């Protein structure tokens, strides 16, 4: 089954639980911000009385035509058949940062050994029928993971509801 992420920014409260859960799941050092595989960004929207803060939780999007994959000169990045998860093979990575330059979302991180690392969609958890750690802890259910068809249909329904409500 192929997998995708969906973030409902109307629900995200910027609590950082997803980012902390990811660091815990992947034994990343809390507080070492550049190594975080999931980050939560604060965005200001609107102006005057309608100004408000929005929060965007972002990790690897496992892009369909992944620019990082195309930029990697060694074939260290590959898309897994079936799940469509974009993976990195540390043994093939030479730490050239080409993927980092190519990724439009600033996702690739580099560990102490200089090789690229990023979200693998919690593949081990998925293999055991568990949700990704970041999705499991999200208290407002802003973050979801599932098949692209189901998530895409939910996004369309939400957009249709907004249109109907005139917002
Ligand atoms: S690292 Fe960036 S370009 Fe590559 S799949 Fe993830 S989001 Fe897409
Ligand atoms: S840093 Fe590693 S994964 Fe990224 S493009 Fe270079 S060899 Fe490929
Ligand atoms: S799916 Fe797993 S590795 Fe990816 S951002 Fe969520 S917790 Fe981190």
* Residues 72-91 pLDDT 10s: 999 999 999 988 899 999 99
Residue 143: Cβ within 10 Å count: 24
pLDDT at 147: 81
| 111 touches ligand 2 (CB under 6 Å) | no
pLDDT at 1: 73
From CA 121, how far away is CA 151, in angstroms rounded? 16
Pocket residues: Cβ below 6 A from ligand 1? 60-63, 66-68, 86, 103, 105, 107-108, 118
Q: What is the pLDDT of residues 99-151, one digit of tens each?
A: 999 999 999 999 888 999 999 999 999 999 999 999 999 999 999 988 877 77
Domain spanning 1-59+131-156: CATH 3.40.228.10: no
Structure tokens at 77: 């990045």
Domain spanning 60-118: CATH 3.30.70.20: yes
Residue whose Cα lies nearest atom 5 of ligand 1: it is 62
| Domain extent listing, the chain | 1-59+131-156, 60-118
Ligand nearest to the CA of 92: 2
| Same fold across 1-59+131-156 and 60-118 | yes
pLDDT at 166: 62
Residue 75 CA: which ligand 2 atom is closest? 8
pLDDT at 4: 79
| 116 touches ligand 2 (CB under 6 Å) | yes
- DSSP code at position 32: -
Do 100 and 114 form a contact (C-beta atoms < 8 A)?
Answer: no
From CA 113, how far away is CA 84, in angstroms rounded? 26
Do 60 and 123 form a contact (C-beta atoms < 8 A)?
Answer: no
Q: What is the pLDDT of residues 29-39, one digit of tens each?
A: 876 656 789 99
pLDDT at 18: 96
Counting residues of the chain whose pLDDT is more than 70, the rounded percentage is 92
* Element of type H or E holding 157: helix 148-165
Cα–Cα–Cα angle for 155, 156, 159, nearest 5°? 85
pLDDT at 152: 72
Q: How confident is the model at residue 157 (pLDDT cuts 50, 70, 90)?
A: confident
| 40 touches ligand 3 (CB under 6 Å) | no
């Amino acid at each position: 089954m192929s997998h995708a992420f969906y973030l409902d920014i109307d629900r995200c409260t910027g609590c950082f639980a997803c980012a902390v859960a990811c660091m815990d799941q992947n034994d990343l050092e809390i507080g070492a911000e550049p190594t975080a595989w999931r980050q939560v960004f604060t965005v200001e929207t609107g102006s005057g009385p309608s100004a408000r803060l929005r929060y965007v939780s972002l990790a690897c999007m496992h892009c369909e035509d992944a620019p990082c994959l195309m930029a990697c000169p060694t074939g260290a990045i590959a898309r897994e058949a079936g799940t469509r998860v974009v993976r990195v093979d540390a043994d093939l990575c030479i730490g050239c940062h080409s993927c980092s330059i190519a990724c439009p979302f600033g996702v690739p991180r580099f560990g102490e050994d200089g090789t690229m690392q990023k979200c693998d969609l919690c593949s081990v958890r998925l293999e055991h029928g568990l949700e990704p750690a970041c999705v499991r802890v999200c208290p407002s259910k802003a973050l979801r993971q599932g098949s692209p068809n189901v998530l895409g249909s939910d996004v369309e329904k939400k957009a249709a509801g907004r249109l109907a409500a005139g917002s």
